Structure 1
Amino acid sequence: LGVIRRAAAEVGPGTLVGAGTVLTEEDVARAHEAGAGWMVTPALTESVAASVRAGLPVLAGALTPTEAVAARRAGADAVKLFPASLGGPAYLKALRDPFPDMPIVPVGGVDLAGAERYLAHGAVAVGVGSPLVGDAAHGGDLAALRQRVRGFVALCSAGTREDV
């Protein structure tokens, strides 16, 4: 919550800071009070309904088609396909057939090559964590982190390719 508070203060009112791994109604209230303007859940929990009631955008975690539909019906703005590494880009591609308009954000084990494939298969965004940060958060190689950041920025700047 302290990180959210500091980030929200630094970026100002024009940028929304999100809160992740939001599980309960209390988590939503505390994160919102700290300055979070949107929520991310790892599953379809009470936090989805609490976010909707609070008027906050929410990215709700789901893995199966049933969970994805339930998340959207519960008011989720988009579905966090989690953990995306279980099915990979081919799984997202398969989901696009019955759900061509569902906004899906793969999260969990998404590296640069995977991000490119997910975006090419219709992901509206990707969530990256460990494959981006690597060991840098624990005093590791900052030059390698910068290189990975450049790769993700270049991918996002270039848009998606249909031939991936």
Structure 2
Amino acid sequence: MTGDVVIQRVALPSRTASARLIVVVRAPDAAAYAPVLDVLVDAGIQSLELTLSTPGTLEALPQLRERYDGVADVGVGTVTDADQLTAAIDSGARYIVTPITSAELVTQSTGAGVPIVPGGFTPTELFTSWAAGASAVKVFPAGRLGPGYAADLRGPFPDLEFVPSGGVDLESADAWLRAGAVAVSVGGPLLGDAFAGGDAQALRRRAEAFVALCRREPA
């Protein structure tokens, strides 16, 4: 019977959960991470999702985790198969993010005691991951849907915890949080030209603005 099934769900790291902000960091190469991450962490960012689409991410992860130990959670995103997930966990990822719906990856990650936030677009995809034991589900690409989608999800799935990702800027981040998102996942609108020689102070100001917004309690 369904009622007899016990779902194993690993909570998001407490620092990430309290910050309500995950910054997705895609770089041309892992060697470019540290200078940008230093600015982000100094501006108050407490959760960093490094992507497997950045060459060298897993090799650099142990050193980056040590570098930001005690101030920021370092997770790994763009995970799409079991081998990648195993490698990310073995390299020290504090949490896992996927762009896809896979109950198998959820089970694998939770079995290892590592939080996972799988991506999905439709109610069926999102609920599949949540029912499998996801820590939260990633509404992706959120920019195609808008914060009003949260109300649609809350109807049939009142307990579902979700994180919008993809096209989330400062204005829509506020709207998503007010709509009940447990956190927002932000990339380009915050990073801007950071990996193309952009001004570090401008990056800091953008990061501080997102941090301040996500620390506010929704009205």
* TM-score, normalisation: structure 1: 0.90
Provide, for residues 107-132 of structure 1, a one-character-per-residue CA deviation record: whole Å limited to 9, x for no partner. 11100000000000000000001110
Q: Which contiguous aligned blocks of 4+ residues in structure 1 show a shift greater than 6 angstroms? A: none
**RMSD between aligned residues:** 1.7
- Range with greater deviation from structure 2 (135-144 or 70-79): 135-144
Distance 1:147 1:14, change over 3 A: closer
- Range with greater deviation from structure 2 (30-39 or 93-102): 93-102
C-alpha distance in structure 1 between counterparts of 2:64 and 2:166, whole Å: 23
The structure, 1 or 2, with the larger RCO (C-alpha pairs under 8 Å, 6+ apart) is 2
- Residues 1-164 of structure 1 aligned to structure 2 (within 5 Å): 1-12=58-69, 16-45=73-102, 46-161=104-219
C-alpha distance in structure 1 between counterparts of 2:156 and 2:134, whole Å: 18
Residue identity opposite 1:79 in structure 2: V
Kept after mapping to 2: 8 A contact 1:38/1:58: yes
Kept after mapping to 2: 8 A contact 1:119/1:160: yes
Residue identity opposite 1:78 in structure 2: A
**Secondary structure of the residue that 2:96 maps to in structure 1?**
strand
Q: Percent identity?
A: 46
Distance 1:123 1:8, change over 3 A: same
**Secondary structure of the residue that 2:137 maps to in structure 1?**
strand
Provide, for residues 12-64 of structure 1, a one-character-per-residue CA deviation record: whole Å limited to 9, x for no partner. 37864211011111111111111112111111134323212222111011111
Provide, for residues 120-154 of structure 1, a one-character-per-residue CA deviation record: whole Å limited to 9, x for no partner. 00000000011100011211232321221121111
Distance 1:155 1:15, change over 3 A: closer
- Unmatched tracts of structure 2, length 5 or more: 1-57
* TM-score, normalisation: structure 2: 0.69
C-alpha distance in structure 1 between counterparts of 2:59 and 2:76, whole Å: 11
C-alpha distance in structure 2 between counterparts of 1:140 and 1:123, whole Å: 30
Kept after mapping to 2: 8 A contact 1:27/1:47: no
Residue identity opposite 1:49 in structure 2: T
**Secondary structure of the residue that 2:148 maps to in structure 1?**
helix
**Secondary structure of the residue that 2:118 maps to in structure 1?**
strand
